Structure 1
């Protein structure tokens, strides 16, 4: 009789050990995701998906010319009111000569400006990765800032 009560003990011990291993693996995966430096940054595709989904001002597409530093940023206003983009900064350096910087509610258009020479791409095909801060005004609020949690990643043209 004693041996029949111990038949399930091996299975139970196995399941308990498996559960412990899964919990430890889950903690490791969580910690690697929590510390972005350990994962090596994000890819260009991940960056584009992130910036398309951000609100209230989405970055749909973008190009940066290596020689001139001309940045063309296709943006969309997801607010129900007009906005005026007053500044777009890449790694703390504001684009100069912003054009087409007013967006009506829901509007999508390309805004252009020049990146300062100190942070420009070195040549065509060179990868860039910038922390972006967009400063804008609405009817009632001035100097609102949108700062992404992820960098804007791409290749220079």
Structure 2
């Protein structure tokens, strides 16, 4: 066969292939128009009604450790503060419970809060808490002048290193 015959045959086959593809696409499913998304409307009355702000409790307390990463045999101090409307409350009695991994230990000390509302407990760890295992200390105030019967503080924590 001659070169021109090969070329003519190639062009004819390419044309037939294009025609075949055109026919196949014409037999496909029809395209559907997407419907527009729903419009969201916010009622202006919704914006006018706000929820009330929460009230702050008048008495609050928190506790913290003098060292959050002591050695397992260290002696640390646990501090706590009792406030009423952000002012220290004097004369309240505090108790503390240490939550070691092996069990709880109630400290025998029962300090009374000073004019700033502060108390402190001495805590010898004595190897009672494993390294890298956190422990917490709950401090509770009682006999609060003019206040509730008792108030439990946010806990102190430490993790021996």
Same fold, judged at TM 0.5 (above): no
Larger Rg: 2
Q: Between Structure 1 and Structure 2, which shows a larger proportion of helix residues? A: 1
Q: Structure 1 or 2: larger strand share?
A: 1
TM-score (norm 1): 0.44
